[in-house]
Amino acid sequence: MALFERNVSPVGPPQIINGSYFIPANNGSYINPDYCTNKICPLVYGELRYVPSFAGNLAYLLIFAACLLAQVVLGLLFRTWGFLFGMLFGCLLEIAGYVGRLLLHSNDFDFNYFVIYLVCITIAPAFLSASIYLILSRLAVICGSRVARFSPKTYTITFVCCDILSLALQATGGGLAATSKTGDRTGINIMISGLALQVASLTMFAALAADLLWAARKASPRTTNPAFRCFRRSTMFRLFPYALALATITIYIRCCYRVAELEHGFGGSLANNQPLFMVFEGPMIFVAILALTAFHPGLAFGGKEGWRSANWAWKGESDSPSSESELVEVMAKGSAA
């Protein structure tokens, strides 16, 4: 059953009958909650206090499905494996979450549908954030070690660790909240901690990415990576930071909304306000994905060889080119292949 405190139904309060919990039905009788449906019982006892919009949630599901297809095609084309992994699982979880909401439209009293919606939609942006974080290390390679404040390895380890911890907290909190007794906020508080960590990580990421790109813009040609000089002048690459910023900001807004929503619990006004959900949840995420689809890093980095050349090594020297002519040669070989 629902995970939050209920207001008293207009047709009467719940009753304990023969040691079992019963709630009032719409016809004035009392019924076991396990047999409730949207037509039989008041929505105040449902998992949500509204019936999720079928058309709206179906539209969001189809948008995420289209984004998933586009990301898979682009990821396979440009071999952006790490980036594709995060985007793939993020889109799949969003789709699963909206499937849960469509099922809740048919029966708002089904606890399993609520868990599918709650857990999947809550943790999906953490995977999308991971893909965004992976881009920063490659930007550091392209801009040059003398421009970047930290090494590509430091950027990656820092943000990936933050994202894994955030994801673990959100998933654990979601599981606890889904199985907790009424009034127990342990799971909710853990979810909030995970989301707050994600907000903090996104804030730090935005600051460091802006610092890196601003430093690269102001740096002299002698201090930037000479291998990527012409590459940095391409129109797609110049526009890419704006798409990255848009994706980061929209995910950030969504996470802030989710923190505020959970702060008041599942029975709060924010958690049961469908218009706010339809504005600050789905659209924020699919705008982020659309931005990273239209300006996919495979396109922005000049193709699969450009993306590979901007990679860095965990041990030893990076295999990225040391000169512009070497980069051109690598990309030409990749195109011929």
| CATH number of the domain to which 262 belongs | 1.20.1070
**Does residue 330 belong to any structural domain of this protein?**
no
Residue 10 has pLDDT above 80, yes or no: no
163 lies in the same domain as 258: yes
The neighbour count for residue 74, using CB atoms within 10 Å, is 19
284 lies in the same domain as 176: yes
Please give the backbone phi and psi of residue 22, each rounded to the nearest 5 degrees, phi first.
-125, 150
Decide which of 131 and 181 is more confident.
Answer: 131
pLDDT at 183: 65
Cβ pair 191, 122 in contact under 8 A: yes
193 lies in the same domain as 214: yes
287 lies in the same domain as 163: yes
29 lies in the same domain as 121: no
pLDDT at 332: 43
**Does residue 153 belong to any structural domain of this protein?**
yes
Mean pLDDT of 323-328: 44
Report which of 194, 291, 282 is spatially closest to residue 240, judged by C-alpha positions: 291
Residue 222 has pLDDT above 70, yes or no: yes
Number of folded domains in the chain? 2
30 lies in the same domain as 103: no
Tokens of 93: 């979880």
**Does residue 115 belong to any structural domain of this protein?**
yes
pLDDT tens by residue, 148-178: 999 999 999 999 999 999 999 999 998 888 7
133 lies in the same domain as 88: yes
**Does residue 41 belong to any structural domain of this protein?**
yes
Residue written as token pair 């807004």: 253
Q: What is the dihedral of CA 325, 300, 232, 159, to 10 degrees?
A: -110
Write out the H or E segment, with its range, that includes residue 30: strand 30-31
264 lies in the same domain as 164: yes
pLDDT at 320: 54
Mean pLDDT of 81-103: 97
Mean pLDDT of 182-200: 90
Residue 125 has pLDDT above 90, yes or no: yes
**Does residue 249 belong to any structural domain of this protein?**
yes
**Does residue 286 belong to any structural domain of this protein?**
yes
Mean pLDDT of 280-290: 97
64 lies in the same domain as 212: yes
Structural domain containing residue 1: 1-46
166 lies in the same domain as 180: yes
75 lies in the same domain as 184: yes
pLDDT at 19: 79
20 lies in the same domain as 163: no
Decide which of 328 and 269 is more confident.
Answer: 269
